[in-house]
Structure 1
Amino acid sequence: MRQRLHEVLLAELRAADRLDMSRAVIDGSHIRALKGGPEPVGAGSAGVGRAPSTT
């Protein structure tokens, strides 16, 4: 429902020439790289093995 509402709102704004895209930002952080991207980097490690207890 929200997707359709969003599409209708954008169409109405475009038709009324009320959509200003000069300051738009595209966020592709949730899009999968189809042509392969760099391998994801895992969490950093402080060294080999377990860290000593501090308690």
Structure 2
Amino acid sequence: MAPTFDDSEKLLEVRISEALNGVYKGDVVCLKHPEDDKRLLIRRVTAGPGEEI
């Protein structure tokens, strides 16, 4: 499966509180890399609470 974003692409991040809208299946989220604060991880949500992958 091809990645959603290529390394050369730019991403506009809109920071909206999870408490405001929630996170749903299919959403793209940005997370701080656990080992390097200068890097971001970009992931698509594939399952909701109680669902198994």
Greater RCO, CA 8 A, separation 6+: 2
Which has the larger Rg? 1
The structure where strand makes up a greater share of residues is: 2
TM-score range, shorter chain: under 0.3
TM-score (norm 2): 0.17
The structure where helix makes up a greater share of residues is: 1
TM-score (norm 1): 0.17
